[in-house]
Structure 1
Amino acid sequence: MKSAALAFALGVFLLQTQALLPDPLLWSLPALVLCLPAWRWRRWPAQLLLLIGACGLGFGWAAWRAELRLADQLDAAWEGRDIAVVGVVAGLPQDFERGVRFEFAIERRLDAEAVVPQRVQLAWYDDGATRHPVNPGERWQFAVRLKRPHGAANPGGFDYELWLLERGIRATGYVRPAPAQRLDAFVARPAYVVERLRAAVRQRFESALPAASHPWRGILTALAVGDQKAVDGELWTVFNRSGVTHAMAISGMHITLVAGLCGALLAGLWRRLPGLALRWPAQKVGVLTAALAAFGYTALAGFGVPAQRTLYMLLVAVLAMLSSRIVAPGRVLALALLVVLVVDPWAVLAPGFWLSFGVVAALLHVGAALVGAGRGWRERLRGWGTVQLAATLASLPILLLVFGQFPLVSPLANLVAIPVISLLVTPLALLAAVLPWTFLLQAAHAVLEPLMQFLIWCAAWPLWQVPAPHPAAVLLAAIGVVVCLLPRGVPGRWLGLTLLLPLLFWPAPEIPDGEARIAVLDVGQGLAVTVRTRQHLLVYDTGPRYGSDADAGQRVVVPYLRWLGATHIDRLLVTHGDADHAGGADSLRAALPVDENISSDAALGRRCAAGESWRWEGVDFAILHPADEAYADNGRRNALSCVLAVTVGGERLLLTGDIGAREETAMLARDAAALRSTVLLAPHHGAKGSSTAEFLAAVAAREVLFSVGHRNRFGHPRPEVLERHAATGARLWRTDRDGALLLTLGPAGREIAAWRQLRQRYWQGR
C-alpha cells in the first residue's frame, strides 16, 4: 500500500513537469493492465509491475484532471473585449489600494457567442471617493474585460499561472465602467453561506480592533477565517525570517489542534454520562467530533488548498480509527497522500505539501520510538527535544530547496510561538468569531503584543542561505534525514549528517574572469536587470510598484537573488525615479545590503554621469548618459535615464532605461561609435518616441530585448518600433512572451535563453 501510494505520487509529480499535456488514456489503460497481476501474484515481479502501474495511473490521472481544467478556458478571440455576464461573488472580497478584488462564478453570459470560463478573478476599481460594495453570495450583472491567466516567469519566482490553475480560476480581468447591477442580495448556497459568514467575522474583527491602535489585528483575522491578505507584507517578512510562518495562518497544526481539543472535550463529557457511553464508545464520539470540528474550521478558512490537505489527512485517520481495525500509522499516511493527490493533483508542486507529509512522517517515525519512554521530566524533555529535532531536520531540505534559506533562530522562535499561538491566540480568535464578545479579541491582541516583539527581535538573526541546489544534493539530504532519525542504538547514525553537508554548503555557480551573466527579469511593465561577474553584482533598476504592499523588488528581484545565493549588492543603479523602474528599490535595500547607490534621482543615490567607468574581473562598465548638460536642462525623468554599457571582449550590452529620441540624438552627437553593441535593451520598453532609425543603425545590435508587461495599457512595444527593429535583422526577445531573459557575454561570444523555454510547462499561456 505504502509503496503503491508513493509510486502514484511519483507519477503525478512527473506529469506536472511536462511541457506538453499527454493523452491520459495512453498512460492509464496500460497502467491498469500492469496492476492486475499484483492482485493474484504476490511475488516481487508482480509487485514491481504494481509500482510501475501505480506510477502510470498517477501520471494518467493527473493528465486527465489537467485536461478537464484547461478545457474551461477563455477563447483567445475574447481577450480584451467587453463581455456582459451574470454571476455570483464566490469568494471573500479583498480590498486593495485602488478598489476591490474578488472571485466571480459566472452563471451565464449575455453575449451568446462569448466563450468564457466558469470561474474568474475580477478587480473592480474605484470610480471616486467611495468603494464599490461587494459581498460574498451577491448576484451581479457586469460588463467585464478578461484575459487568460498570465504571470511573471523568473528563476526562483512564484508561478502565478499554476496558482490560478490549482484554484480553478481560468481568467482574470476587471469590471468595466459600464453600469453594474446587483440582481440578488444573496444566493443561498452552502459555499456562499460560508463565505458570507467569513466576511461577517472579518468585519466584526475590523470594527472591534481599529487598525491604528491594533497593529496585529490582521493576524487574528488570518487565524480565524484564513484571510492571509489581512496581514501586512512587512509582517510576513518577520515571520519568514524567524521561521514561524506556518504558525501565523491556518495550517495543519491549527486544524489538528482545534480538532483534538473539540474531540477531547466531548469525549470527556461523554464518559461522564453512562447511558450514552454504553450506547457508543466515548473514544469514537471524540474522533467523530474531531472530524466535524476539522471540517468546520476548514470551511471557516474558506477551504483553502493547504487547509483541505490537512482535512483529508485527518479524515483518513478518523476513518481508520472508526473502522475498529488496527491500522499502522504509515498506512494511514500513505492513504492520506493518495486521497490528497486524487483530489488535488497539483498539490505536489506546493512546498506546503512536502512540508506537511515530510514533517508528519518524521514525527510518526520518532513517535514510534518514544512509545514506552519513561514519564519523568528528563524523559519528557528528551522526547520533546527529539520531536523538535525531527521536525527541523525533515523541513530543512524542503526549505533550502524552495526558499534557499533557513532561519537559524527557527527552533527558538517556534519554541515560544507555537504554544502561544496554538494554545492561547487561536482559541481566543475562534471563540471571538463565534461569540460577540470584544474582550476576547482584546485579550488575544494583548497576548500577541509581547510575542510579536520577540519575533521582531528573532527576525534580526542571520539566515542560513544557499543558492538553488542540485536535485541530487536534496535527495542525499533527504536520505541523511532518514539516517539521522533511525532509532537509538543503530550504528552509523552520524553518517546522516555527512549526507546533509552537500546541501548545506552547496556553492554558487562559478563565473570565470572575463564573463558577465545578465538577467532581464520578467517584472511586468517595468525594468529590472542584474549583471554578475565573478565577484560582483550590479542591479540595474528594480521593477515597478504593484500596490501599497507589493513591488517587484519584493516579489521578483529578491527571490531571484536568493535563488542565486547572493548575499549583498555591490552597486544598485536606478536609472530614474519613475515607479516602474524604482518601485522595488526600498524592498531590495531592506532585504540585501547595498554597497553603493547610483541614480539620476538625487533621492535614490549619488548622481550617475556620462564618462564614469569601472572594471570588474575583466568586464568593463561605462555610463554613457546623462551628460552634465542634460541635468542643466532640468529635463523629464525619462530624459535623465542612466544609460549603461557592459562590454566583454567583442560583445557589448547597452542598457538604455527610458530614454527617447532626443536623448538618442544627443548620444549620437557625442560619440556614435561608443553606442555600437551586439545586444540592446530597447529604450523605453519600445515606446513610439524612442528607437529612432539613426540610433538603431549606430547601435547595429544583433539581439534586442524588450522588457514589457503582458497586454500592457501602453501598447508597448509599439508596432512601428517592432518594424524598425526587425528591419535591422536583429532577433527580438520579449519578457511578456519569453519570461526572464538570461544572457551570457564572454570570450566565446554571447548566449541568450528564455526562461519560459528552459522551464516550459503545459499550463503556460493557457
Structure 2
Amino acid sequence: MILTHGLAFLSGTLGVQLLPELPRWWWFLVFLPLALLKHWRLGVHVLLAAALGAAWACYVATGVLGQRLDPNLEGQDLWVEGKVVSIPRYRKRSQRFDIRATKLFNKKGEYNPPEKIRLSLYAADFWPQPGEYWRFNVRLKRPHGFYNPGGFDYQGWLFAKRVGATGYVRKDSGNRRIQTAWAWDLSRIRWRLVQRIESRLQNDNTAGLVTALVTGYRGGISSSQWNLTMRTGVSHLLAISGLHIGLIAGAVFFLSRWLWSILGFGLLRLPAPQFAGLCSFSAAALYAAVAGFALPTQRALIMLAIVLSGLLWRRRISAGHWFGMALLAVLITDPIAVWSPGFWLSFGAVGVIALLVSGRRGPKHNRFLDILRIQWGISLGLLPLLLLLFQKVSLVGPVANLIAIPVVGFVVTPLAMIGGVLELVNPGLLSTALLNAAAWVLAKLWLLLELFGSWSWSQWQTPRLPLWSMVCASFGIVLIMALKGIPGRLLGLFWLLPLFLIEQQRPLPGLPRLALLDVGQGLAVVVETANHALIYDTGPRYSDQFDTGKAVIIPFLRQRGIDNVDKLVISHGDNDHIGGAVSVLEAFPMTPVLSSVPSKLSKAKHCQKGQTWTWDGVRFAFLAPSKSLQRYGHNDASCVLHVEGRCGSILLTGDIEALAEQYLVNVYGVGLASDVLVAPHHGSRSSSTASFLEAVKPQWVLIPSGYRSRYGHPHPQVLARYAQLGFGVLTSAKHGAIEVQWPDCRPKVMAYRQTHKRYWFD
C-alpha cells in the first residue's frame, strides 16, 4: 500500500513540475472531501496521495519563486551582506561562489534579499573564503540561462539550487570581510580539506578526482576527465551519492558488528546489529557532511535511514514498503528533486535491484554470478532513463563499472577518506602516503578507462526519442528481467525495437528549416535541408572550459539526430560569432569552413559574393562580402548568406551595419526580399536602416541577443522601426531558441520558451 501511495505522490509532484504555470492553491480544496470518507478504497487513497503531492509541490515551488530578486532591482548598484556558503570555483583571475544573503540595500532603502546569490569576482586583490561573512557592492539579475532543444536548462538548475539571483562584485573600497569563519564551520572545514588534498597531490592529474571523492567538490575535474567518465559510464562514481553512502555504511556496519560481537558487548541490551546500524548511519552522515550535504547525499541518507529503521526497531520491512517510504520521504523533503537526473537514476537503480533479487533467494547461489547479474540488470534497466535524460549510453559501462565500483568503493575512497581525515587532525607522512596511494590506484584505473573510452563504439548516441518509445522499452526490460518460468520473457525484445527504428523527421525537399539558437550575446544558426545541415556562426567562448559550440550547438545537433555538418560559415572574427568554432570542428572535423576571416581557422576558405550551391532543392548564395566591403570594418565584411526554398527564404547578415546594408540595397534591391531576417548586428542602432528593411520586407525578424545585454541590444529605436513596419519580432533572450519551418508553404515560427514553458520562467 505504501508503495502505491509513494508512486501516487510522485505522480502528483511530477505533474505540477511539468506545468507551464503553477495552479492556484484553491484547486486542491476539491480533494478535501475525500479525507472525510469513512470507507476508504484504493482509488480514493491514490487520488488523495496524488493531490497531496501536487499541493506540496506547489507550496514549495511558490516559496522558492517568492525569494527571487525583485525585477526592479536588476542592474542597480546594491550592497549585499551574507555568508560564503560554497567552495569557490577558480578560473583565470576570477572566482565564483554562493552567498547566503542576510541583507540587501542601497541609498534608497533596504530590500528582501534572495536566500542564495551566486556571485562572480573578477581581478580582485581579495579572495573570500567559505564560512566568512562579507559585504559586497554588486549588480544582480534574476536567474536566467540559455534555453535550447537538447541543451542544459541552467535557469531550472539555479531554481532547484534555490539561487534567487546571479551577478558580479563591483570594484569598490567598501568591499570587505565583516566576520571571519567559525573554526568548526562545515564549509570552512571542507575548504581546508580541499586545499590540503590539492597541495599534497599538486603534480598529480588525479588530484581533482581524489578531492571529489572525499569532499564532493568537483571544480578540479577537467572537461576531458568528465567526458571520459561519461563515455565509460562511471561518472556516477565522482558524484557522492547513494553508491558511496551505501559502501561507507555497509563497510562500517559489518566492521562494527564484528567488533561488537568479538569484544563481548553483545551481552548488553544493545545487540550487535542495532549497534552496527547506529555506527553505519553515523559514518554515512559524517561522510555526507564532508561532502557538503548535497542533495544526492541527502537522498541517500534518507533512504539509508529508512532501511536501518527496520533493523533498529527489529521489524522486517518489505522491499516495496521500504521503496515507497523512501520515495515519500525524499519528495516531502524536496519535491523539486524530480528535476534532478540523479533522483530518477537512484530510485531506478534501487528498483531494478529489488526486481532482480525478489523471489530469487535459495540455498544455492554464486555471489560472483549474482553481482554480474545485478550489474547487467542495472545497465539494462536504466537504459531507457539514460536515453531519455542524456540521449546517450555507454556500451562499455557494464564492464567498466564491474571493475571501477569495487576499486573506487573499497580501495580508493577508504584510502582517500582516511588520508583526508588525518590531514585535518594530524597531517604528516601517513596522511600523505594514503592520499598518494589513492591517487596511484586511481591513475592505474584511469589508464584502463582511457582504453575503454578510446573505442569508437564505446558510446551509443540517439536523437531525442518520444516518451512512448521509452515506456515500451521499459516494459520490455521488465519482461526480460522477469523470473524464469514467466511466459513471454523473450517478447521483451520486441518492445525494445522502437529505440532502434524511430528516425528523426527531416525537412521535405525544397523546404529549409532554421533554428536560431539561444547563445546569449552572440549568434549561432543551424539551417537544415532534407539531407544536409549548415551552421552559421557558433556563438561566444566564455572561458577555456565553456563555449557555446560545445554547450549549445553540439547537443542541439545530437538531439536532432544530425551526425554530419556539411558546411560551417563564420561570418566574421568577433568572439561572439567564432567562439564555439573549435569545439564544433573537433566534433565534426571533416566539415568545410567558409569565413570572412579564414586565417583564424584551420583549412578555412574565404566567403565571397557570388558563391552559390544547392542542397535538396534549397539554394544558398553569398550576397557579401565584396572586395570593396572587405576594406571597411570587420563587421561590414561579414558573410551575408541568402537561403531560398520553394516556399520561402532566409537572410543571414552577421554583424553588418549601415554601410554594408546600403551596399546590399544598391546591388540587389528587391532581390533581398526574405520571409525571415536574422537581425543585423543583434539589433544595434548602427544597423537595420529603414532602406534595408524596406528592401528585405521580412514577415519575421529574429534577434540574437543576451539577457539584459550590456550593449543595450536590441536598441529601442530599432525595435520601434520593426514595429512601425509591421514585422513580427522575436528575441533569443526572451524566447530562447527560435525555429522556423514552412509546413504549408507559410513560415511557422516556434519559440522554445513558449512551446516548452516552465513555471519558473519570468
TM-score by length of 1: 0.94
Give the aligned partner of residue 354 of structure 2. Answer: 364
Contact 1:649–1:746 (CA<8 Å) still a contact in 2? no
* Cα shift readout 1:329-385 (whole Å, capped 9, x = no counterpart): 12111110111111111111221111111111111111234422524xxx3343223
Give the aligned partner of residue 394 of structure 1. Answer: 381
- Partners of 1:525 and 1:357 lie apart in 2 by 39
Give the AA of the match of 1:396. Answer: L
Q: Is it true that 1:532 corresponds to 2:528 in the alignment?
A: yes
Out of 252, 255, 259, the position equivalent to 2:249 is: 259
Q: Is it true that 1:54 corresponds to 2:49 in the alignment?
A: yes
Contact 2:103–2:113 (CA<8 Å) still a contact in 1? no
Distance 1:699 1:389, change over 3 A: same
Q: Which runs of 5+ in 2 are unaligned?
A: 424-430
Distance 1:593 1:509, change over 3 A: farther
Q: Is it true that 1:710 corresponds to 2:707 in the alignment?
A: yes
Q: Is it true that 1:514 corresponds to 2:471 in the alignment?
A: no
Give the aligned partner of residue 658 of structure 2. Answer: 661
Q: Is it true that 1:96 corresponds to 2:94 in the alignment?
A: no
Out of 525, 546, 552, the position equivalent to 1:556 is: 552
Contact 2:675–2:700 (CA<8 Å) still a contact in 1? yes
Q: Which runs of 5+ in 1 are unaligned?
A: none
Give the aligned partner of residue 148 of structure 1. Answer: 142
Greater CA drift, 425-434 or 707-716 = 425-434
1:726 CA drift (Å): 2.2
Distance 1:508 1:570, change over 3 A: same
- Partners of 1:219 and 1:595 lie apart in 2 by 35
Distance 1:557 1:663, change over 3 A: same
- How do 1:624-703 residues align onto structure 2 when only pairs under 5 Å count? 624-631=623-630, 633=631, 635-703=632-700
Greater CA drift, 406-415 or 279-288 = 406-415
- Partners of 1:171 and 1:13 lie apart in 2 by 25
1:109 CA drift (Å): 3.0
- Partners of 1:621 and 1:284 lie apart in 2 by 74
Out of 187, 205, 208, the position equivalent to 1:215 is: 205
Contact 2:148–2:556 (CA<8 Å) still a contact in 1? yes
Contact 1:374–1:380 (CA<8 Å) still a contact in 2? no
Aligned identity (percent) is 40
- How do 1:569-648 residues align onto structure 2 when only pairs under 5 Å count? 569-602=565-598, 603-604=600-601, 605-631=604-630, 633=631, 635-648=632-645
Greater CA drift, 18-27 or 51-60 = 18-27
- How do 1:370-385 residues align onto structure 2 when only pairs under 5 Å count? 370-372=360-362, 374-375=364-365, 379-385=366-372
* Cα shift readout 1:533-577 (whole Å, capped 9, x = no counterpart): 111111111111122201111211111112112212111212222
- Partners of 1:650 and 1:727 lie apart in 2 by 26
Give the aligned partner of residue 157 of structure 1. Answer: 151
* Cα shift readout 1:567-591 (whole Å, capped 9, x = no counterpart): 1211121222221111112222233
Contact 1:682–1:691 (CA<8 Å) still a contact in 2? yes
Local SS of the residue matching 2:95:
strand
Contact 1:568–1:593 (CA<8 Å) still a contact in 2? no
Contact 2:512–2:528 (CA<8 Å) still a contact in 1? yes
1:485 CA drift (Å): 1.1
TM-score by length of 2: 0.95
Give the aligned partner of residue 338 of structure 1. Answer: 328
Contact 1:569–1:593 (CA<8 Å) still a contact in 2? no
Contact 2:186–2:290 (CA<8 Å) still a contact in 1? yes
Local SS of the residue matching 1:723:
helix
- Partners of 1:242 and 1:636 lie apart in 2 by 47
- How do 1:718-729 residues align onto structure 2 when only pairs under 5 Å count? 718-729=715-726
- How do 1:287-366 residues align onto structure 2 when only pairs under 5 Å count? 287-366=277-356
1:319 CA drift (Å): 1.3
Give the aligned partner of residue 399 of structure 2. Answer: 412
Out of 195, 198, 212, the position equivalent to 2:190 is: 198
Give the AA of the match of 1:392. Answer: S
Give the aligned partner of residue 123 of structure 1. Answer: 120
1:41 CA drift (Å): 3.5
- Partners of 2:386 and 2:618 lie apart in 1 by 35
Local SS of the residue matching 2:747:
strand
1:650 CA drift (Å): 4.3
Give the aligned partner of residue 6 of structure 1. Answer: 7
Contact 2:420–2:435 (CA<8 Å) still a contact in 1? no
Contact 1:515–1:745 (CA<8 Å) still a contact in 2? yes
Give the aligned partner of residue 170 of structure 1. Answer: 164
Give the aligned partner of residue 734 of structure 2. Answer: 737
* Cα shift readout 1:490-541 (whole Å, capped 9, x = no counterpart): 1211111211111233211132212111110111111111111111111111
1:705 CA drift (Å): 0.5
Contact 1:649–1:747 (CA<8 Å) still a contact in 2? no
- Partners of 1:142 and 1:613 lie apart in 2 by 55
Give the AA of the match of 1:681. Answer: V
1:653 CA drift (Å): 0.7
Local SS of the residue matching 1:155:
coil
Greater CA drift, 408-417 or 193-202 = 408-417
Local SS of the residue matching 1:595:
coil
Q: Is it true that 1:438 corresponds to 2:432 in the alignment?
A: yes
Give the aligned partner of residue 39 of structure 2. Answer: 41
Give the aligned partner of residue 214 of structure 2. Answer: 224
**Structural RMSD (CA):** 1.8
- Partners of 1:693 and 1:115 lie apart in 2 by 45
- Partners of 1:98 and 1:694 lie apart in 2 by 46
Q: Is it true that 1:541 corresponds to 2:537 in the alignment?
A: yes
Give the AA of the match of 2:58. Answer: A
